[in-house]
Amino acid sequence: MLIVPFQVGVPQAELDDLRNRLANTRLPDQIPGTSWEYGTERGYLEELLTYWMNEFDWRAQEARINAFDQFTTEIDDVNMHFIHQRSANPDAIPLMIVHGWPGSISEFLDIIPPLVDPAAHGGEIEDAFHVIAPSLPGFGFSGIPEARGYNPERIALMLAALMERLGYESYAIAGGDWGAIINRHLANHYPERLIGLHSNMILAAPPEDEEQRNRATPEELALTGARAAYMQNETGYQAIQGTKPQTLGYGLADSPAGVAAWIVEKFHGWTDMPQGPEGDLDDHFSKDDLLTNISIYWFTGTITSSTRIYYENRNTPAEKPIEYIDVPTGAAIFPAEIYIAPRAWAEAAYDLRHWTVMPRGGHFAALEQPELYLNDLREFFRLLR
C-alpha cells in the first residue's frame, strides 16, 4: 500500500467560520460563587474563547506541525495519519508514541526533536530514537472509521501493521490514556516485535495471588484509593461517550465553544494542580498548546468520532484477552494520573524493569512535564539498548 506525504492545510474559509461561530457564542449561566465543581468554569472559558478568536495563530501552529515529516497510508479501511521523524543516528531505536483522548499528536511536538536528535538538545547521541506518532483512527488527521468495531485491540493491530509497513521488525512503544491501553493489546499480540513498552498510565488490577496483592504498601494503597475516589466525580464523560456518543456529537460538532469546554475540563481535572478556584491552568499549559489540540479536533471534525472508542471498548470485547504483558516495561508514575496502581500489582501484570515515581505531573505528562517524561523515556530504554 502507498505511503503518501502529508501536510496540514486548513482552508481560510474554515478559519473565518470558526471566528464567526466564536463571535456568536451563547454561553450558559453559572451559579454565582461556584468554580469548576459543576464543570468548565465560565470565566475561564470566556477568556479562552476570546483568545482563540482574537489572538490564537492557527497558521503558526500549522507550520509547527508541518515542520515534521508526515504521511498517510490506508490500513483496515482507514486513511491513517502519522508523523515519522527519523534520526540521523543509524542506531536509533524506532519508537511509536501513542496519544489518547482528548489528546492528539500535538502533545508530543515538543519532545519529538530531542528524542530524534538528543545531541542538539543537550543530550547524548546514543539516546536517539526514530519517532512514529500516529493519529488514532477517528482522531485528528486520520480518517474516520465507517464501520463498527474499532476497539483498542483492533487499533493496536492497525498500528502493528503501520510499523510493519514502515519496515520496522523490532521497535519500542510508549503512551498514556488510550495509548497505554492500545499498547497493551499490541504487546499482547506481538511481544516478539517489541523492544520495550513505556507507560505513564500503568493498568493493573489487584493480583489474584494474595501474597503479591498484599505487597502493596499502605502509602500506595492510600494513593490508589484517593485517585479512585477522585475519579468517581470525573467520569461522567465516560458514561456518555461509552453509551450515546452520537447524541453528544450533535452539540459539539456545531459549537467550537462546546468542544473547547468539553476538552479543557479534562485538562483542568487531570493536571497536577489545585482543583478549586485557586488552581490556574495557565500555570501548566499555555493557551496556545491547549488551543492547538482543541483546534485539531475542531478543524478535522473528529470530536464525535474520537469519542466512539469508548463505545467500541465497552461493546466490542477483545478477541485475545490480556493476562500478562511479557515485554520489558517501564513505568512513569505521575502523582495526578487518573489511575495509579501499586508497584506490586504492576509487577504481576507486566515484565516490569523500570519504575519512576515522579515529583509532579498529571495525565498529559508529555505536555505538562516534558523534561521529566523525556528523561524517563531515555533512562528506561538505555536499559534495553
C-alpha neighbours within 13 Å on the C-beta side of residue 375: 8
Is the distance from CB of 42 to CB of 30 less than 8 angstroms?
Answer: yes
Q: Of 117, 177, 272, 376, which residue is the catalytic one?
A: 177
User: Of 130, 297, 363, 373, which one is the catalytic site residue?
Assistant: 363
**Cell triple for 77:** 479501511
Which single residue is written with the C-alpha cell 465543581? 37
pLDDT on residue 277: 80
Q: Which of 44, 310, 350, 373 is catalytic?
A: 310
Active-site residue 363, yes or no? yes
8 Å CB contact between 7 and 141: no
Q: How many CA atoms lie within 13 A of 218 on its CB side?
A: 0
Other beta carbons within 10 angstroms of residue 67's beta carbon come to: 12
Crossing angle for the helix pair 58-66 and 287-300, to the nearest 10 degrees: 80
Q: Is 275 exposed, middle or buried (0-12, 13-18, 19+ CB in 10 A)?
A: middle
DSSP run (H or E) holding 14: helix 12-23
Check: pTM over 0.95? Answer yes or no: yes
- Express each pLDDT in 206-249 by its tens digit: 998 888 888 999 999 998 998 888 888 899 999 999 999 999 99
Which residues, in sequence order, are bridge partners of residue 33?
Answer: none
Per-residue pLDDT tens, the chain, 385 aa: give them.
799 999 999 999 999 999 999 999 999 999 999 999 999 999 999 999 999 999 999 999 999 999 999 999 999 999 999 999 999 999 999 999 999 999 999 999 999 999 999 999 999 999 999 999 999 999 999 999 999 999 999 999 999 999 999 999 999 999 999 999 999 999 999 999 999 999 999 999 999 888 888 899 999 999 899 888 888 889 999 999 999 999 999 999 999 999 999 999 999 999 999 887 888 999 999 999 999 999 999 999 999 999 999 999 999 999 999 999 999 999 999 999 999 999 999 999 999 999 999 999 999 999 999 999 999 999 999 999 8
How many CB atoms sit inside 10 A of residue 13's CB? 8
Q: What are the grid coordinates assigned to 144, written together?
A: 474516520
Omega cis (within 30) before 370: no
Q: What's the pLDDT score for residue 38?
A: 96
Model pLDDT for residues 261-293, shown as the tens digit of each residue: 999 999 999 999 988 788 899 999 999 999 999
Query: Residue 106: which of 291, 328, 293 has the closest Cα?
Result: 293
Ordered domains of the chain (ranges, CATH): 4-23+36-382 (3.40.50.1820)
Which cell goes with 203? Answer: 493498568
**Calpha distance 40→269 (Å, rounded):** 9
- Rounded to 5 degrees, what are φ and ψ at 144? -100, 125
Order of strands, sheet of 194-199, starting from the edge strand that comes earlier in the sequence: 4-6, 70-75, 78-85, 129-134, 93-98, 171-175, 194-199, 325-333, 350-357
Q: Is 301 left (phi over 0), alpha (psi -120 to 50) or beta?
A: left
Q: Say how far apart CA 306 and CA 138 lie, in whole Å.
A: 5
Contacts of 226 (CB under 8 A, 6+ apart): none
> Is residue 129 classed as helix, strand or coil in its secondary structure?
strand
Write the DSSP string, 15-33. HHHHHHHHHT--PPP--TT
- Concerning whether 311 is annotated as a catalytic residue, the answer is no
Please answer whether residues 172 and 93 qualify as being in contact, where contact means their C-beta atoms are separated by less than 8 angstroms. yes
What is the rounded CA–CA span in Å between residue 91 and residue 155? 28
Query: What pLDDT, on the 0 to 100 scale, is given for residue 16?
Result: 99
Active site residue 284: no
With 0-12 / 13-18 / 19 or more C-beta atoms within 10 angstroms meaning exposed / middle / buried, residue 9 is exposed
Q: Residue 274 and residue 110: Cα distance in Å, rounded?
A: 25
Q: Which three cell numbers stand for residue 270?
A: 487531570
